[in-house]
């Protein structure tokens, strides 16, 4: 009985360590910043999918469990020329993404032009981490994301936008433990996110507010597909 309790405790510890966050809302509009070195900073209040390895059977092939948790996010972008931005995006405890946006239809944000807008983004990110102890867990995360963006600006105050998004998150870990039942386990998961978002941006002077809803589907190795509706908001400023 004592060994069973100890084993359960170890699995809980390892499960908490072998987890990763897949973001939900993206808050990405099709408008580039415009000009050269015009910038934007944004605070986002949203959620994240906390995917935790199911090691209850001391196996890495039982998939992951998903918990939707509240998360804050941050976004920064700066323009290099009128239709091209570089950006950094981070959702709490997830992988930071570094990417580029190219707007191929319509005017930029600084042009304040009405009408149709379209853009495409691509981003990559990754990190490595080790959690010491017994058990100890080391893991590596890699992420890629692509977004096709459409919007229509009705006035200087209101932009309606849509986002078709695809992202992929690769998790590779290794567990070292004095317990032979879990020692040497190497959890490895491939999560694909397919999502569609609709949002409204309200602009006033250099400040803006976004509200966004979306539908997301996650496909993860050894795990039943997950579909969900999501929502969030963000605030920010440009200069």
Closest of 22, 15, 48 to residue 144, by C-alpha: 22
Q: What is the CATH number of the domain that holds 137?
A: 2.40.128
Q: pTM of the prediction? A: 0.90
List, run by run, the mean pLDDT of 10-residue segments along the chain (239 residues). 39 55 97 96 97 85 94 97 96 95 97 96 92 81 97 98 98 86 89 98 97 98 96 97
For residue 23, what are the CA distances in angstroms to 17, 91, 207?
18, 6, 24
Instruction: Supply the pLDDT for residue 12.
Output: 39
Question: Which residues, including other chains, have CB under 8 Å from residue 213's CB and lie 6 or more apart?
Answer: 197, 198, 199, 229, 230, 231
| Residue 1 pLDDT | 45
Q: How far is 76 from 148, CA to CA, in rounded Å?
A: 19
What pLDDT is stored for residue 183 in this prediction? 86
Apex CA 31: angle with CA 216 and CA 232, to 5°? 35
32 phi and psi, to 5 degrees?
Answer: -75, 165
Query: pLDDT by residue (tens digit) across 221-238?
Result: 999 999 999 999 999 999
How many residues are listed for the chain in this entry?
239
The range of the structural domain enclosing residue 38 comes to 2-238
Number of folded domains that form the chain: 1
Q: State the pLDDT at residue 27.
A: 98
| Dist. CA 56–CA 45, nearest whole Å | 33
Dihedral angle over CA of 132, 138, 140, 141, nearest 10 = -60
Dihedral, CA of residue 76, residue 198, residue 218 and residue 227, to nearest 10: 150
Can you read off the two tokens belonging to residue 124? 């990559």
Helices (H), ranges, 198-238: none
What is residue 55's predicted lDDT score, i.e. its pLDDT?
79
Taking the C-alpha atoms of residue 17 and residue 174, their distance in angstroms, rounded to an integer, is 11
Residues 6+ apart with CB under 8 A from 229: 213, 214, 215, 216
Q: What is the pLDDT of residue 16?
A: 43
What is the distance between the alpha carbons of residues 53 and 17, in angstroms, rounded to a whole number? 9
């Amino acid at each position: 009985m004592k060994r069973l309790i100890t084993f359960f405790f170890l699995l809980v510890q390892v499960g908490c360590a072998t987890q990763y966050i897949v973001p939900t809302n993206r808050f990405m509009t099709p408008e580039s910043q415009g000009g050269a070195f015009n910038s934007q900073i944004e605070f986002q209040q949203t959620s994240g999918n906390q995917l935790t390895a199911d090691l209850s059977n001391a196996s890495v092939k039982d998939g992951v469990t998903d918990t939707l948790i509240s998360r804050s996010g941050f976004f920064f972008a700066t323009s290099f020329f009128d239709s091209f931005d570089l950006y950094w995006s981070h959702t709490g405890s997830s992988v930071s993404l570094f990417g580029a946006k190219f707007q191929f239809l319509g005017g930029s944000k600084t042009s304040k032009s009405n009408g149709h807008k379209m853009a495409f983004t691509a981003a990559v990110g990754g990190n490595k981490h080790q959690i010491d102890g017994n058990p100890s867990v080391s893991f590596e995360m890699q992420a890629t994301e692509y977004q096709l963006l459409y919007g229509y600006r009705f006035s200087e105050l209101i932009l309606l936008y849509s986002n078709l998004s695809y992202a992929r998150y690769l998790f590779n870990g290794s567990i070292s433990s004095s317990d032979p039942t879990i020692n040497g386990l190497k959890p490895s998961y491939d999560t694909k996110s397919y999502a569609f978002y609709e949002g409204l941006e309200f602009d006033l002077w250099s400040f803006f507010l976004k509200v966004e809803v979306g539908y997301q589907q996650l496909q993860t190795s050894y795990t039943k597909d997950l579909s969900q509706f999501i929502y969030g908001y963000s605030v920010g400023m440009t200069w």
